[in-house]
Amino acid sequence: MKIGVIVFPGSNCDRDMYHVLTDVFKLDAEYFWHDKGLPKNIDAVILPGGFSYGDRLRSGAIAAHSPIIKDVKKMAEKGIPILGVCNGFQILVEAGLLPGALLKNTSLNFMCKWTSLIVENNKTPFTNKLKLHQKIPIPIANGEGRYYVDDETLKKLKKKNQIVFRYSEVVNGSSDRIAGVCNEDGNVVGMMPHPERAAESEINPIDNKPSSLIFESLLTTIGVKN
């Protein structure tokens, strides 16, 4: 089993994600530069946070057209677990793999703060070890993190159980306090907060276990597969 961590020009959470996957959870991970394809033997893909292409045009808009995204789309269709965090989420949305859009926070500022999430769907490859409505203390760090969907799509998201995480408080003006969503099949998940910044006790001032379960869920998912 192997996890691909995709690196775009301007990604800056790739090394943090890699550290947590390999050093903390002892998973086999490998970086893949955006301009090539992904090998066939990849069991999961993670798009880390950062400022791909310096957020030019719109956050995630340029990276969504990188050559590697073609392979990501193929893998998404095959049901392989794919997680986009922060800018990775923005890229998945721009690539059309996830619904909605990410707008400027209502504060109009970049916001870096600790908040907490509520698990709304624990059937995805990244949440299956979490309890429904479990709280996850976690930090956000973004300027364009306000998730937006129109009412109709929101209804659909609710119906198909595509809302994965909600904020426990009003953080940035997201529709229905949504912090993370998945595709209809549930294998592609995007979230604005950073689980890789919350999975170790040393850097999590509150409780690192819930965020750890996001990675342990993945471990279980791809472990079972092998």
Partner 1 sequence: MSLEPQELDDLTSKIGRKPTSTELQIVAAEWSEHCSYKSSKKHLKMLPMKGPLVISEKGYDSGVLDVGDGYVITAHIESHNHPSAVEPYGGAATGVGGVIRDILSAGTRPIAIFDGLRFGDIEKDLQARWLFKNAVTGIADYGNCLGIPTIGGEVEFDECYSNYALVDVAAIGFGKKKNLIKNYAKKGDLVVLLGGSTGRDGIGGSQFASDSLESENRSAVQIPDPFIEKLIIEAILEARNQNLIHAMKDLGGGGLSCAVSETADALSIGIEMDVDKVHTRESDMNPDEIMVSESQERMLIVTDNAKLKKLQEICKKFRITCSVIGHVTSNNMMHVKKGKKTCANLPTDVVANATLLDRPSKKPAYLENIEKEKKLKPILDYSKMMMKFISSPNIASKIWVYGQYDHEVGIRTVVKPGMDSSVLRLDNGKFLAAKIDGNPKHCYVNPREGAIGCFEEACRNVVCTGAKPIGMLDHLQFGNPENPEIFWTFLESLKGLTDFAKYFEIPCIGGKVSLYNETPSGPIKPTPIIGILGLIDKTPLYSQKITTGDCLVIIGDTKNEMGGSEYFEYIHKFVGGKCPVVNFQESKTNMNIVLDLIRKDLLKTVHDCSKGGLAVAVSEICMTHQIGCAVSLEKVPGPKLDVDRILFSESHSRYLLVLEKKNLKKLEDILKTSKASYKMIGEFGGENIRFNKENKQVIDLRVDKAQKTWSNSLRELVVHG
Q: Does 194 bind partner 1 (CB under 8 A)?
A: yes
**Residues numbered 68-107 forming contacts with partner 1, rule: CB under 8 A:** none
The b/e string for 39-76 (b: 16+ C-beta within 10 A; e otherwise) is eeebbbbbbbbbbbbebeeebbbbbbebebbebbbebb
List 94, 120, 196, 216, catalytic entry: 196
Is 200 a residue that touches partner 1 (CB under 8 A)? yes
Classify residue 212 as exposed, middle or buried by CB count within 10 Å of its CB (0-12, 13-18, 19+): buried
**112 near partner 1 (CB under 8 A):** yes
**Contact assessment for residue 118 and residue 168, using Cβ atoms and an 8 Å cutoff:** yes
**Is residue 194 flagged as an active site residue?**
yes
Query: Segment 42-71, which members bind partner 1 (CB under 8 A)?
Result: 49-51, 53-56
202 binds partner 1 (CB under 8 A): yes
In degrees rounded to 5, what are phi and psi of residue 141? -160, 95
Q: Is 200 a catalytic residue?
A: no
Contact region for partner 1 (CB under 8 A) — 16-24, 121-129, 144-152, 158-166?
16-24
Compute the least distance from the CB of residue 94 to partner 1, in Å.
17
Share of the chain residues as helix, strand and coil, in percent rounded to the nearest 5: 30, 25, 45
Q: Which residues contact 88 (CB under 8 A, 6 or more apart)?
A: 6, 46, 47, 48, 49, 190
137-156 residues near partner 1, rule: CB under 8 A: 139, 141, 143
Residue 173 lies near partner 1 (rule: CB under 8 A): no
The contact set with partner 1 (CB under 8 A) reads 9-10, 12-13, 15-16, 19-20, 33, 49-51, 53-56, 109-113, 139, 141, 143, 194, 196-197, 200, 202-203, 205
Catalytic center residues: 86, 194, 196
